[in-house]
Amino acid sequence: MSVRLRQLGVLPFGGWPATAVAIIGVCIYLFPIYWMLISGLKDSAEIFANPPTFVPRAPSLAAFEYVFVRENVLRYLRNSLTIAIPVTLLTLVLGSMGAYAMSRLRNRLVDVAIVVVLLLQVFPEALLATPMFIIFRSIDLLNTFAAVILATTSKTLAFALVILRPMFRQVPFELEEASFVDGCTRLQTFRLVVLPLMKVPLIVVGTLCFVQAYGQFVYGLTLLSQQELQPATVGIYSFVGAEYADWHRVMAFSSIFVLPILVIFLAMQRRIVSGLTAGALK
């Protein structure tokens, strides 16, 4: 195994020297994230210090306190969650149904359906925002969470179908046949045999869909004009809109917002990576 890997080689050395190079490289690459986190810990004098400090001289939570008290961070986070959680659930329900059907049916209709999904997942939200705005306006859903939830799910659902389809295929037919023999209907088999086996993939895909919905910006911006309903992405955007910004506060707001994502990612890194690679190239 190790022989093969070294044969791919671009470096004349492996082992610990390569680890050292990798650590330095990863630290440089992820420096912007570190910069975001520590910028939020600086006060209004230190944030504009020249030269900038790479470790906060006097770390303070003042910027965090400010955004909680004055910028309604909690309301923005609640709105983001009110959108992201239903999107995730709706995506998982429709996604697991579709992916299961795609993995079990074998005919031209399924081939067409797969191509439809692949093609419909590529369109930029910024372009769909205009017709969505008009459609939701005609059915009087502007300024409701429902509009953003329905719009966002159209993106996460296609993504979930692409990733889940190959995973559902791995559930052996024999298990289902055994369950039919025991007198279960197709629906019972799906609920009691197939879904429990797919628990881990569904959690991974659910996490990825949640992250996408949580960070969604365009539909929140377009479909919600009432500030009380807007998600945190729109809140951060209006906070940086100005030429001059209180960067320590913007970065404190951003840090609070992305911290859950980073924690979830670090906890599930391995599974997320393998989930992503399973869908996109197969």
Partner 1 sequence: MPGSPSALLYVFLALPILYLIGFVGFPIAYNLMMSVQEVNLGNITEFIRPFVGLDNYRTVLADESFQKVLVNTLLFVGCNVVAQVGIGLGVALFFAQDFPGAGFMRGLLLCSWMLPALVVGALWKWIFATEYGVANYVLSALHLVGSPIHWLSDPTVALTSVTLANIWFGMPFSMILIAAALTAIPKEHYEAASLDGAGSAARFWYITLPALKPALLAVACLVTIYTMRAFDLIFAMTQGGPLDASNVLPLLSYQFSFKQFDFGVGSAMGSFAFLIVFGVALLYVRTLKQETAS
Check binding of 69 to partner 1 (CB under 8 A): no
**Segment 161 to 220, residues that bind partner 1, using CB under 8 A:** 161, 180, 183-187, 190, 211, 214-218
Check binding of 138 to partner 1 (CB under 8 A): yes
Number of residues this chain uses to bind partner 1 (CB under 8 A): 110
Give me the least distance between CB of 257 and partner 1, in Å please: 7
Check: CB of residue 40 under 8 Å from CB of residue 244.
no
83-112 footprint of partner 1 as x/- string (CB under 8 A):
-----------xx-xx-xxx-xx---xx--
Alpha-carbon gap, residue 202 to 198, rounded angstroms:
6
Alpha-carbon gap, residue 224 to 156, rounded angstroms:
19
Q: Tell which one of 74, 126, 175, 178 touches partner 1 (CB under 8 A).
A: 126
Check binding of 245 to partner 1 (CB under 8 A): yes
Q: Which stretch binds partner 1 (CB under 8 A): 25-33, 59-67, 68-76, 191-199?
A: 25-33
Q: Kindly tell me the burial class for residue 176, based on how many C-beta atoms sit within 10 Å of its own C-beta (0-12, 13-18, 19 or more).
A: middle
Q: Which stretch binds partner 1 (CB under 8 A): 6-14, 58-66, 70-78, 192-200?
A: 6-14
Neighbours of 37 (CB within 10 A): 17
Alpha-carbon gap, residue 77 to 109, rounded angstroms:
42
Check: CB of residue 161 under 8 Å from CB of residue 99.
yes
Check binding of 238 to partner 1 (CB under 8 A): no
